[in-house]
Amino acid sequence: MVNVKKTVNELDPYVPGRSNADLARAYGLDPIKIIRMGSNENPMGPSPKAIKALEENLHRIHTYPESNIDDLKGKIAEYAGVDSENIIIGGDGADEILDVLAKTLMEPGDEYIIHPPSYMYYEFTFNIHGAVPVYARWDIGKNQLDVDSVLEAITPQTKVIFLCTPNNPTGGLIDKKDIKTILESTDALVVVDEAYWEFSGVNNLELLADYDNLFILRTFSKVMGLAGMRIGYGIGDEKFIQYMHRVKPVFSLIRLSYIAAAATLDDPGYIAKSTQLSIQSRDYLYQKMSKFPELKVFPSRANYILVDVRGTGMNSKEISEELMKNGIIVRDCSSFRGLDDYYIRVSVATLEEDERFINVLRDILI
């Protein structure tokens, strides 16, 4: 076999997830009846306007996507209240934006700071490029960022600092003043991941005017209901965005994704209702789960809730399997750096599904 890069040799081997069909088979379930509370998706389904736009464009799938996507860029700029020139759109969700950031900034040995427990894909993407993770800390007890741990982690080699707010999987927000403190303490790019901002009502766009080292990361996979179409975007300094475009894949955003994203932005009623129903579901789940003395339920500003299950006598794998046997997928968080084997993450669902989940939980625990 040919020689692979040293960094790749040191990465963990790839383990594919199990498909819904696989899970259904293993647990003797009807795949259609499986309740998905593991991936922070939009339980309402996609915007009907997106579906309609897709139907009208299926006949064109034999032609390449447009490389010019100014129209969608304009709509996103309007939604975010920034200029088109500050936007870059990713064709593999926000994950592609992460990859483009790594390609633009990271040379072997360069450092980036993350605050575990947080989104694991930062490490997956950046380590490929020989970049070195430096661990700050999310204070689980207070469910807030340990800002000092970030400031102490900064070195002359720091190229990127990731701040996830609301933080996945803990659900807590990062204070705007803490973000400012960090922006002012470094020349590194501060990537503020706002994938879930709509569920919190809080974003950090206003800081863009003052800090050209701020980069905001967003996605169409959550409130926009398009997780399957893989669209993400970044907002940042215009000159920096131009550099990112030099390395961004040209055709990665497929035309159907482009069309679905544009149609969804043209449906503000859908976005508002999605936000509202997700918050409703979150509040319901929080309130109901808090009644189980075996569970420690974390307050959340996102569309998921972190739960410490050690009081149940089961670990996260065991309780996830019990739920799966009843057709409910939640996220076993044992693979998150910074969490032990006793946390699960529960995503919002429809109120009907929420009730079913609570009933199953009751059957398992009581």
Residues 115-154 touching its own copies, rule: CB under 8 A, are 121, 124, 128-130
Give the C-alpha separation, 176 to 174, whole Å. 6
In angstroms, the CA 72 to CA 87 distance is: 10
| Interface segment toward its own copies; rule CB under 8 A; list 111-119, 163-171, 172-180, 242-250 | 242-250
When asked if residue 333 is in the footprint of its own copies (CB under 8 A), the reply is no
> Is the preceding omega at residue 117 within 30 degrees of 0, hence cis?
yes
Q: Which is nearer to its own copies, 27 or 243 (CB)?
A: 243
- 26 lies in the binding site for its own copies (CB under 8 A): no
Of 30, 33, 62, 141, the residue at the interface with its own copies (CB under 8 A) is: 62
Nearest approach in angstroms of CB 260 to its own copies is 7
Kindly state whether residue 263 participates in binding its own copies, applying the rule CB under 8 A. no
Q: Is 165 in the site for its own copies (CB under 8 A)?
A: no
Q: Are strands 35-37 and 158-164 parallel, antiparallel or unpaired?
A: unpaired
228 binds its own copies (CB under 8 A): yes
Q: Please say whether the beta carbons of 262 and 75 come within 8 A.
A: yes
Contact between 344 and 334 (Cβ < 8 Å): no
Asked if 257 touches its own copies (CB under 8 A), the answer is yes
Selected from 56, 78, 184, 243, the binder of its own copies by CB under 8 A is 243
Asked if residue 27 binds its own copies (CB under 8 A), the reply is: no
User: Which amino acid would we find at residue 59?
Assistant: H
Query: Cβ closer to its own copies: 209 or 366?
Result: 209
What DSSP element (H or E) covers 127?
helix 121-127
At which residue do the structure tokens 């040191």 appear? 10
**Residue 173 CB, nearest approach to its own copies (Å):** 24
**What is the spatial distance between Cα 139 and Cα 178, in angstroms, rounded to a whole number?**
14
Residue 307: strand pairing partners: 297, 344
Site for its own copies, residues 185 to 214, rule: CB under 8 A: 187-189, 212-213
Site for its own copies in 34-53 (CB under 8 A): 36, 39, 41-42, 44-46, 50-51
28 touches its own copies (CB under 8 A): no
Nearer to its own copies, 41 or 354 (CB): 41
Q: Is 13 in the site for its own copies (CB under 8 A)?
A: yes
Residues forming a β-bridge with 218: 233
Please tell me whether residue 232 binds its own copies under the rule CB under 8 A: no
The DSSP code for 284 is H
In the bound state with its own copies, the residue whose beta carbon lies nearer, of 151 and 365, is 151
For position 293 contacting its own copies by CB under 8 A, the verdict is no
- Per rule CB under 8 A, is residue 156 in the interface with its own copies? no
Task: Count residues near its own copies (CB under 8 A).
Answer: 90
Of the candidates 46, 344, 66, 97, the one whose C-alpha atom is nearest the C-alpha of residue 244 is: 97
Q: For the chain, how are helix, strand and coil distributed in percent, rounded to 5?
A: 45, 15, 40
Helices (runs of H) and strands (runs of E) counted in the chain: 14, 14
Interaction with its own copies in 69-108: which residues (CB under 8 A)? 69-70, 91-93, 95-96, 99, 103-108
**CB-CB contact of 339 with 322 (8 Å):** no
Are 182 and 151 contacting, i.e. CB atoms less than 8 angstroms apart? yes
